[in-house]
């Protein structure tokens, strides 16, 4: 299936957010820095035992994860990917190219030890839910193929309070994604659903 029209809608949405709010959490549609960093902490449970590694960041926005990694002194080779040219422009202006970090305007991943994605699958806009699910599964296959040791992603949970849900967001069944990853990608799969956000994270370790 060709997802170009879908991706164009998403790219325009996030580019507008960045233009409105600038290079800060609201510019990638997060509430604040605290919750953004909490998501990074949970996702990076994937690499907590790694000493040196390469990492793909799919949907990198303005590069907040790279800053998070630097502050915590992780030794990694980082590539951030985003389909929004203005996001990549912002990221490269904040973090000039170096031998350990680069940003690419694409969603086609190079092979790395790990791949992570934070928030990429939340905003479906007016895309039908079944089409959006297909798009998520398509991306998970890409992440799997591009990851030697594992990958991680998060999704809004279907256990969210129905009265607080938004029609433009996708709420996923945690059990479905746990089983999907467990039966298709690896035996070591963790479902993390106990942190203080209306979402869950899946860790896939090969």
Looking at residue 151, its pLDDT comes to 98
pLDDT per residue, tens digit, the chain (206 aa), is: 779 999 999 999 999 999 999 999 899 988 889 999 999 999 999 998 888 999 999 999 999 999 999 988 778 999 999 999 999 999 999 998 778 999 999 999 999 999 999 999 999 999 999 999 999 999 999 999 999 999 999 999 999 988 889 999 999 999 999 999 999 999 999 999 999 999 999 999 99
Q: Domains in the chain and their CATH numbers?
A: 4-205 (3.40.50.150)
User: How crowded is residue 188: how many other Cβ atoms within 10 Å of its Cβ?
Assistant: 12
Of 153, 151, 149, 152, whose CA–CA distance to 206 is shortest? 149
Q: What is the 3-state secondary structure (H, E, C) of the chain?
A: CCCHHHHHHHHHHHHHHHHHHCCCHHHHCCCCHHHHHHHHHHHHHHHCCCCEEEEEEECCCCCHHHHHHHHCCCEEEEEEECCCHHHHHHHHHHCCCECCEEEECCCCCCCEEEEEECCCCCECCCCCHHHHHHHHHHHHHHHHHCEEEEEEEEEEECCCCHHHCCCCECEECHHHHHHHHHHHCCCEEEEECCCCCCEEEEEEEC
- CA–CA separation, 83 vs 105, rounded Å? 5
Looking at residue 137, its pLDDT comes to 98
Looking at residue 200, its pLDDT comes to 98
- CA–CA separation, 29 vs 21, rounded Å? 9
Q: What token pair was written down for 116?
A: 């992570």
């Amino acid at each position: 299936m060709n997802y170009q029209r879908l991706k164009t809608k998403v790219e325009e949405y996030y580019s507008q957010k960045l233009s409105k709010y600038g290079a800060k959490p609201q510019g990638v549609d997060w509430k604040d820095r605290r919750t953004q960093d909490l998501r990074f902490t949970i996702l990076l449970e994937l690499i907590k035992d790694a000493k040196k590694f390469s990492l793909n960041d799919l949907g990198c926005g303005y590069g907040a994860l790279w800053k998070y990694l630097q502050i915590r002194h992780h030794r990694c080779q980082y590539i951030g990917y985003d389909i929004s040219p203005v996001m990549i422009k912002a990221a490269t202006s904040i973090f000039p190219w170096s031998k350990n970090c680069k940003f690419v305007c694409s969603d086609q991943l190079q092979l790395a030890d790990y791949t992570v994605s934070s928030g990429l699958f939340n905003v479906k806009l007016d895309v039908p839910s079944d089409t959006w699910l297909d798009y998520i599964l398509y991306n998970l296959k890409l992440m799997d193929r591009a990851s030697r040791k594992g990958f991680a992603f998060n999704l809004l949970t279907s256990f969210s309070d129905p009265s607080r849900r938004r029609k433009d967001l996708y709420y996923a069944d945690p059990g479905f994604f746990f089983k999907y990853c467990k039966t298709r990608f690896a035996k070591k799969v963790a479902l993390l659903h106990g942190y203080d956000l209306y979402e869950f994270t899946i860790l896939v370790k090969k």
